[in-house]
């Protein structure tokens, strides 16, 4: 009987996971955006410079995400348009060189990460934002010999809520975000 109790206690201790820290891999992480342009086509672009971390506690089904985006790293493939996006009427990259997403709420559907909810700060204005998880998985990286977590997420925001009204209504107010992220365990 004592042996069975010891096994149950040991099994319970092993089942409790501890928070694990992962660092964002900037080579495999991007934030893409798209917005309807003059009611005809969709303009797409991305931010190339990001940093941050993920703290994941699988046992508790919780964690935190912190991502910093360099607003000056915006790229659409059209240099003059990138300059307009970086300007004071839109991203205001000179005065506000970084945007932030900080999430303290992870929602799981069983073992599957369903969403991240937190606060997005752009141009000095913060608003709630939820990222829907399209896919998320963790596993060993064959080259790094370390655990890597990554996934694809999507969200929508209203740019006028962040003071970006330039071009309205010809350029849509609703912006769709698509995020691809990979993070390496510390």
CB distance 147 to 137 below 8 Å: no
Instruction: State both tokens at 32.
Output: 């893409």
**Domain for residue 110, yes or no?**
yes
Mean pLDDT estimate for the chain: 90
pTM: 0.85
> How far apart are the C-alpha atoms of 70 and 68, rounded to whole Å?
7
Span 104-127, average pLDDT: 94
Residue 152 counted as domain residue: yes
- 134 in a structural domain: yes
Q: Is the pLDDT of residue 119 over 50?
A: yes
Residue 10 lies in a domain: no
Beta strand residue intervals within the chain, DSSP E: 20-24, 30-37, 41-47, 50-57, 62-70, 74-75, 98-109, 112-122, 125-140, 147-158, 174-185
* Assigned domain for 108 exists: yes
Residue 12 forms part of a structural domain: no
- Cα torsion 70, 76, 156, 69 to 10°: value is -10
Residues 106-110 have a mean pLDDT of: 90
- Looking up residue 30, the CATH number of its domain turns out to be 2.40.128.110
**Which pLDDT value is given to residue 75?**
97
Mean pLDDT of 80-103: 97
Position 76 confidence tier, pLDDT thresholds 50, 70, 90: very high
Nearest to 46 by CA among 180, 182, 150, 184: 180
Residue 164 lies in a domain: yes
What are the structure tokens assigned to 151, written together? 């996934």
pLDDT attached to residue 10: 36
Taking only the tens place, the pLDDT of each residue in 16-72 is: 568 999 999 999 999 999 999 988 999 999 999 999 999 999 888 899 999 999 999
Indicate the number of domains in the chain.
Answer: 1
> Residue 178's pLDDT band (boundaries 50, 70, 90)?
very high
**Residue 184, pLDDT above cutoff 90:** yes
Lowest model confidence (mean pLDDT) among 48-52, 111-115, 124-128? 111-115
Residue 21 lies in domain: 17-185
């Amino acid at each position: 009987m004592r042996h069975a109790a010891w096994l149950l206690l040991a099994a319970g201790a092993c089942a409790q996971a501890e928070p694990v820290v992962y660092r964002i891999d900037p080579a495999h992480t991007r934030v893409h955006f798209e917005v309807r342009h003059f009611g005809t086509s969709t303009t797409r672009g991305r931010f190339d410079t990001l940093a941050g971390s993920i703290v994941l506690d699988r046992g508790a089904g919780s964690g935190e995400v912190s991502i910093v985006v360099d607003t000056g790293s915006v790229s659409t493939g059209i240099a003059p348009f990138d300059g307009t996006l970086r300007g004071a009427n839109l991203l205001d990259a000179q005065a506000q060189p970084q945007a932030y997403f900080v999430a303290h709420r992870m929602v799981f559907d069983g073992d599957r990460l369903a969403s991240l909810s937190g606060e997005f700060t752009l141009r000095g204005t913060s608003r709630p934002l939820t990222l829907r998880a399209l896919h998320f998985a963790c596993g060993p990286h064959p080259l790094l010999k370390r655990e890597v977590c990554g996934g694809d997420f999507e969200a929508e925001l209203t740019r006028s809520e962040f003071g970006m009204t330039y071009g309205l209504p010809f350029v849509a107010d609703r912006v769709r975000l698509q995020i691809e992220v990979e993070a390496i365990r510390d």
